[in-house]
Amino acid sequence: MQRYQPPHMRQRPPPPPQPEDQRSVQTRRGVDPSAEAGPSTPRRGITPNNPTLSSTNSTNSSRYAVRPSRKDWPSSITGVQPVLASPATDIRPMRSGAGGKVKVGEMELMQSVSRSGGDGAEGDALKDWNTQERYRQYIDERIEAHYITYTTPRHTPPKAGVRQKEELESLASIVLLFRKLREGVVASHRIDGFAIEVFESSAHFAILAHNLPQLLGALSGLVPSLYQAYDIAHVKAQSGTGKVKSAAEGDEADDLHVRLGRLELEPVRSRDRRVEFASLLLLYHLVISGRRAYFDTLMELTTPQKKRLTKDNPFADISDFAPASLVGTNVTDLRPSLNPHSHIEPASDGLPLLSIDQLDFVQAAAQSMAEETFSPLTYFHLISSSSSSGNGTVSTYERTILAWAEPGIRERAWDVLKKGYMSVGVEWAGKMLGLDTEEEVRRWVEEKGGKVEDGRVKLR
């Protein structure tokens, strides 16, 4: 009865008989002749002296010759240790800082405050003001690397092309970095020029990346809340007390809104930039949210702010609607009060953030898009690079947001043309549709099922 054969030996055909000088052939191939297993020296496993697994049975050894290895195995390997036997200090990061010190990319690994537990652990690092400023420098490095990689000019959204998607993804990563920094600024209750710059830059890059949720988050936190908080902080800093006392406590100083009216802000540009970002917020609501949100925000920014009603004094603004006989009366005497020193807490300076005259660009845009005063000619002029306002040149970011409504405006203009004309010239149709060349007009009209013949657009 034939003995059991291992599978690897059963699948191999028996090698042809070797000539008598087999020993010399194996020697030339670098194989020790003693590696061949014999009946008296069985070997197991693969070793430098036994490169192939041989059978321990003397009968099989004589039946199947050992297949010599084609590699010249060294007899011993010196100076090599297992990986786990190496000390922990042997594993080093890829980067090295100045002075030869190993430096981990801490900015890349910085966690957002929203992901932390709020217990002062690693995730709360961005609550530190110094860390925030270093993280802002890191974002600047990422921005520089972006504009080195892509040729799009600064303050300009990516144009349609082969690399547009890739460029938008790069901008989106920068927007997320700004979001992380904004969270740290808000969590640390920071109200200064640095905080304002972070929110403003975050809004700008959200526009370039067409990231609507992050854009609304940055603009809503900036306008009007952060600007007004910044003004109030300046007033308190100039008063030297850091606290606004109540009239019931015997404070003879002027009210906060009176002192704020006398205040001359240090950065004059701050007033100019808040006009731009208020315009951006209004344009966002006009194009994305709707006209109701636009008008609500416009009223909030351009009308005087009422004083906040506190739980200690819910009748603080009764003079706004009370009869003339009650105006000037101490209304706190008309109800029981749990706190004898209750007072009005000012929500802001009492003055509007902006004058409506400073928002002429956004007002012109709203008028051109309204149903009653719809004017595609005015709209397409506003989004052109030559547009300007009474307060100066319109920013690229304002025109970019307004241009998001371009497809809808073009559709409405096409409906106006079809209802009012049998046919129009190609040049006039191009102005109404916001298309520059005759070829663009022809292509767009044909997509809508129209025809262009003899230089005229056939509408019916």
Measured CA to CA, the distance from residue 440 to residue 324 in angstroms comes to 66
**Model pLDDT, residue 162:** 86
Instruction: Please state the pTM of the whole predicted model.
Output: 0.65
Measured CA to CA, the distance from residue 142 to residue 174 in angstroms comes to 7
**Model pLDDT, residue 320:** 46
Q: Which of 21, 23, 49 is nearest to 37 (CA)?
A: 49
Query: Where exactly does CATH 1.10.10 map onto the chain?
Result: 405-458
Residue with tokens 């704020």: 260
Q: Cα 67 to chain center, whole Å?
A: 63
**Model pLDDT, residue 254:** 44
**Model pLDDT, residue 100:** 41
**Model pLDDT, residue 192:** 94
Largest distance between two CA atoms of the chain: 132
Measured CA to CA, the distance from residue 353 to residue 346 in angstroms comes to 15
Helix (H, G, I), strand (E, B) or coil at 121: coil
**Model pLDDT, residue 285:** 98
Contact 191, 223 (CB under 8 A): no
Q: What burial class does residue 239 get, using C-beta atoms within 10 Å of its C-beta: 0-12 exposed, 13-18 middle, 19+ buried?
A: middle
**Model pLDDT, residue 11:** 62
Measured CA to CA, the distance from residue 454 to residue 460 in angstroms comes to 15
Q: What burial class does residue 85 get, using C-beta atoms within 10 Å of its C-beta: 0-12 exposed, 13-18 middle, 19+ buried?
A: exposed
For 171-180, b/e burial (b = at least 16 CB within 10 A) is bbebbebbbb
| Cis? peptide before 224, omega within 30° of 0 | yes
Q: Which amino acid is at 344?
A: I
Q: Which amino acid is at 236?
A: K
Measured CA to CA, the distance from residue 254 to residue 247 in angstroms comes to 10
What is the DSSP code (8-state) at residue 81? -
**Model pLDDT, residue 334:** 37
- Other Cβ atoms within 10 Å of 258 Cβ, number: 12
Measured CA to CA, the distance from residue 194 to residue 135 in angstroms comes to 12
**Model pLDDT, residue 410:** 97
Q: Fold for domain 405-458?
A: Arc Repressor Mutant, subunit A (1.10.10)
Digit-by-digit pLDDT tens for the chain (460 residues) are 567 776 666 665 666 666 555 555 455 555 555 554 444 545 455 555 555 544 445 455 455 555 665 655 555 444 444 444 444 444 344 444 444 443 447 788 777 887 765 555 556 889 999 999 999 999 999 999 999 999 999 999 999 888 999 999 999 999 999 999 999 999 999 999 999 999 999 999 999 999 999 999 999 999 999 999 998 888 888 776 554 443 444 444 444 444 444 444 444 444 559 999 999 999 999 999 999 999 999 999 998 866 555 556 555 544 444 444 333 434 334 333 333 333 333 444 467 888 999 999 999 999 999 999 999 999 999 999 777 666 667 999 999 999 999 999 999 999 999 999 999 999 999 999 999 999 999 999 999 988 999 899 998 8
Residue with tokens 């069985």: 42
Contact 37, 50 (CB under 8 A): yes
**Model pLDDT, residue 90:** 41
Which residues 6+ apart lie within 8 Å of 118 measured at CB?
124
